[in-house]
Amino acid sequence: MNILFLDSIESGVYGGMEEWIRIVADGLAAREHNVTVAGRPGSEFLRRLGETTKGVKPLPIELSGDFNPSTISKLKKFIAEHEIDLISVNFNKDVRLGGIAARLDGRPGVIWSVGLDITKDSLVHKLLTPRLVDRVVVPSESLKTQITRLGYVRPETVEVVPIGICDKEFVRPNPEASATLRARFELPSDAIVAVTVGRFVDQKGHRYLIEAAQEIVKAHDRVRFVLLGDGPLTSELRERIEAAGLEEHFVFAGMIDDIDPVLAGADLMIHPSVEEPFGIAVLEGMRAGLPVVASRVGGIPEVVEDGATAVLVEPRDPKRLAQAVVDLLRSTDRLARMGRAGQERWRAHFRMTDMLDSIERIFRATAGVSGVADG
């Protein structure tokens, strides 16, 4: 197949859906499909894509306006010249730009790969989305329920495909990875390292982790919280940490391309999101053998097994979050058991090969078909 992915994510932003596109595009290219990924020129998205994928062609393109005729014309021309069979779109803007270009060409099927609930109760969305999208792919049943609630995305057009990540073996305990991590961030050699992965936005709930940390360090003073990511709330989070007197307990590690060395040397993962359609960071933590404390929101309960691979708490509840972490840290045996169980669950349910098999099947069934979602 000739496949085009379209993602209009802002230039300096890289999120879970962009990582999904990178993984899937790379996997499909390895299966000898012709894959192109379109994004904003100079974007973090295309930069990472170019550095980490093989055989995937980046397509820098200006993506301005939901109905920009110039962008639609360029996409239509590319679709025709490269005989695109299937276009996968991400944001609502992408649905309109890519969907209209595909319909004008008349050849490609259109997949809406949805990473979070961006449906809107508006006439434009209700009228156009069903006519521009053939099938919808989501990573969790929870997200399927969300995006179908308004009625214009029909449940029978939505396929749930859990995210899978590549095979990578992590051995625990790993004294070398542990020492390297602590030296990298100038942490005490005996520090207990809790890692949190996610952009600094309200959705990820970092403020609740900071509140919980005040109680956690009272019980376990050796805990250090390593925050992987960046975002618009960076300054606010730093101010909250300073106001709580927790500067020595938090590390802002920034956006790191390869987080696996950090996960390999950490002791547990804390994921305090208030909204999470799937939780790919949690899955990466499980693969690394990390016990997880996370919020019971969105798709996370579908990823973990509460009580076995993770401890789930209600979102926006720093007291319960703190208590869960404190209780977990009391038992090194429980930490180890939970980490092993997480690795076993990843191997059984969230391998990349299984995800790619499902995606390839859906893409083949949709290629060259139009109007499915419209009935």
CATH T-level fold of 175-350? Rossmann fold (3.40.50)
Q: What is the mean pLDDT of the chain?
A: 94
Q: Which residues of the chain have pLDDT under 70?
A: 368-375
Q: What is the pLDDT of residue 51?
A: 78
Residue 375 confidence (pLDDT): 35
Neighbours of 372 (CB within 10 A): 17
| Joined tokens for residue 20 | 């999904």
Residue 370: what pLDDT?
A: 45
How far does the chain reach from its first CA to its final CA, in angstroms? 24
Same fold for the domain at 2-164+353-366 and the one at 175-350? Answer: yes
In angstroms, the CA 341 to CA 338 distance is 5
pLDDT for the residue 165: 92
Q: What is the fold of 2-164+353-366? A: Rossmann fold (3.40.50)
Nearest to 190 by CA among 214, 217, 219, 223: 223
Cα gap 34→74, rounded to integer Å: 19
Instruction: State phi, psi for 289 to the nearest 5 degrees.
Output: 80, 20
Residue entry with tokens 């996610």: 198
The answer to whether residues 272 and 182 touch, using CB atoms and an 8 Å cutoff, is: no
DSSP lists the bridge partners of residue 57 as 36
pLDDT tens-place string over residues 53-81: 789 999 999 987 788 999 999 999 999 99
Q: Which amino acid is at 206?
A: H
**274 C-beta neighbours (distance < 10 Å), count:** 15
Q: Which structure tokens are listed for 154?
A: 């029909």
Using alpha carbons, select from 243, 241, 244, 245 the residue that is nearest to residue 227: 241
What pLDDT sits at residue 66?
A: 82
User: Residue ranges of the domains in the chain?
Assistant: 2-164+353-366, 175-350
Strands 223-228 and 34-39: unpaired
By 3-state DSSP, what share of the chain in percent is helix, strand and coil, each rounded to 5? 45, 15, 35
pLDDT at 264: 97
CB crowding 90-116: b at 16 or more within 10 Å, else e: bbbbbbbbbbbbbbebebbbbbbbbbb
> Could you read off the pLDDT of 22-52 as tens digits, one per residue?
999 999 999 999 999 999 999 999 998 887 7
Which residues, at least 6 apart from 328, have a Cβ–Cβ distance to it below 8 Å? 268, 291, 293, 311, 334, 335, 338
**What are φ and ψ of residue 224, in 5° steps?**
-125, 135
* DSSP-derived pairing of the beta strands 223-228 and 2-6: unpaired
Classify residue 92 as left (phi > 0), alpha (psi -120 to 50) or beta: alpha
* Integer CA distances (angstroms), 358 to 89, 153, 169, in order: 17, 20, 23
Per-residue model confidence (pLDDT) at position 374:
39
pLDDT of 13 reads 85
8 A C-beta contact, residue 259 and residue 284: yes
Q: Using one digit for the tens of pLDDT, what is the confidence trace for 246-288?
A: 999 999 999 888 999 999 999 999 999 999 989 889 999 999 9
Coil vs helix vs strand at 164: coil
The per-residue pLDDT for 368 is: 62
Q: Which amino acid is at 123?
A: L
